Structure 1
């Protein structure tokens, strides 16, 4: 097998892969952070901005069901992958389990703040049910696409502090923590996809992932806008004011959609791999924002409720 650098083109990787293309010095680890005690004190917790708040709230609604789906899909492929990738899938599952748990708590706080999330949850469940009915390899393709979308949003969130500069402190920490782990495991689903399709032609693989990304991205954008508009309606913001606010936020102001357009397009490049862009430095940058943390080591079990809660002194991590 050739020695691959992080930024090297991986056009031939599927025929060579024996483990994964995750950088060798990157340890995928679940930090098992707890934010359930961080109450949402301000209804518009993103600096008093109802539009920005609606964006993150609508996104959070997707995570509990979406993360569980990703876990189930990769778990189904885990025992058919090489050892290194198998370990990374296990670590991926541990991280996503905690993400699902923490966003379920966050969403409950939104409900306690008198937001009705039922329409958004119904839309999410309907989408995931349709994907879950697809063949196994199509479920993996969808997971790979959604993980890429999540990773590029995560990178933008950390790299551009303006997004959460004025957000409530505890909520900002939660989102930065989540974003850092999404970057950390951003190649796992893609490596699983490469291994599962290692006997496909390049054209067959590119065509499948391209068609899925176009379809997934269309639905993702449409449903997040609909979710934002529904939450804004509950804040008394409707009609032209709501639409203008959403479009300005997405494309002109903080512009999370515009700013992630280029990395989204890179997915379509022949030979693409998520680690063609080495953004590992953002993981530590995010950690420095949500404070030095004791990294809890999970037991060898996919169920997050059995994570080892003992704090181990040799795992104490200090971030400059």
Structure 2
């Protein structure tokens, strides 16, 4: 582990093989009967399978040269991300079963990832660090304020909360891999590369998610100012999921930043207690 890592000693990144919603019939507007909130979360979900595959590949590239315990954390990260991908593939299939055409949304995410994969491996890792910072912020917000998922179908709430818990658990793995991979790089260059990657990731993330949201709303004939006003008030007002992202992403540009400078393990533990018993027994470590 890099001397610059601030990951808590003894951090456990649990391998859980949990499955959600297998016995549930899909509901078109699963988020409280609200087409706009449903469209936003479906749009977000459409990016996860291809995005998480990219994250796994970017971190795995540096696994063999990593020291313990980072190598073990990379393995745990890959396991968690693979199960997230599997569950979001199923979630997206449920959206299809409810009548949505997800092809355009998934293709847009795939094109963005294809663009990122044309960058050198170190920049792919930098992009992964930036997007993992996004998911950590969103995860904290979802777990800290039940209003984000209030009214959503119970099994959908469980899936999103489980995903958030695991994003918090592994939130520094990509960043610690970055610190190790760039350990001989001048500090100013390390900062410049990760900052550039964050700016590019922020632009592309917002573009893909909101374009996908608009297209899904259009399929319901709900892509109009009234529904966008309600959605933006929800995302940037109260409870403000994307407002939290906008406010907290800038901490990433601070020299000396590390994801575990914000220790939210207790928040994740409290949320985990609400999801027990698991649908599938956790795998042995």
Distance (Å, rounded) in 2 between the aligned partners of 1:219 and 1:60: 15
Cα distance change, pair 210–38 in 1 and its aligned pair in 2 (3 A): farther
Equivalent position of 1:296 in the other structure:
282
Cα distance change, pair 298–135 in 1 and its aligned pair in 2 (3 A): farther
Equivalent position of 2:204 in the other structure:
219
Equivalent position of 1:317 in the other structure:
none
Show the 5 A alignment for 1:107-122.
107-122=92-107
Show the 5 A alignment for 1:202-213.
202-213=187-198
Equivalent position of 1:305 in the other structure:
none
Distance (Å, rounded) in 2 between the aligned partners of 1:28 and 1:38: 28
Secondary structure of 2:61's match?
A: helix
Give how far 1:79 is off: 0.5
Give how far 1:76 is off: 1.1
Equivalent position of 1:21 in the other structure:
6
Give how far 1:153 is off: 0.4
Show the 5 A alignment for 1:83-122.
83-122=68-107
| Consecutive unaligned residues in structure 2, runs of 5 or more | none
Which 10-residue stretch deviates more, 71-80 or 269-278?
A: 71-80
| Consecutive unaligned residues in structure 1, runs of 5 or more | 1-12, 300-320
Equivalent position of 1:236 in the other structure:
221
1:157 to 142, 145, 154: 142
Secondary structure of 2:58's match?
A: helix
Equivalent position of 2:235 in the other structure:
250
Distance (Å, rounded) in 2 between the aligned partners of 1:298 and 1:120: 36
Distance (Å, rounded) in 1 between the aligned partners of 2:187 and 2:146: 38
Give how far 1:298 is off: 6.2
Runs of 4+ aligned structure 1 residues displaced above 4 Å come to none
Return the TM-score normalized by structure 1. 0.85
Post-superposition Cα deviations, 1:75-114, rounded to whole Å, max 9, x if no partner, equal 1110011111000000000100100001101100100111
Equivalent position of 1:46 in the other structure:
31
Higher relative contact order (CA 8 A, sep 6+): 2
Paired positions, count: 284
Cα distance change, pair 239–47 in 1 and its aligned pair in 2 (3 A): closer
Distance (Å, rounded) in 1 between the aligned partners of 2:23 and 2:91: 9
Tell me if 1:191 matches 2:171.
no
Return the TM-score normalized by structure 2. 0.95
Distance (Å, rounded) in 2 between the aligned partners of 1:102 and 1:230: 22
Cα distance change, pair 23–48 in 1 and its aligned pair in 2 (3 A): same
Give how far 1:131 is off: 0.7
Which 10-residue stretch deviates more, 263-272 or 32-41?
A: 32-41
Distance (Å, rounded) in 1 between the aligned partners of 2:284 and 2:123: 30
Equivalent position of 1:308 in the other structure:
none
Give how far 1:46 is off: 1.2
Cα RMSD over matched residues?
1.7
Equivalent position of 2:50 in the other structure:
65
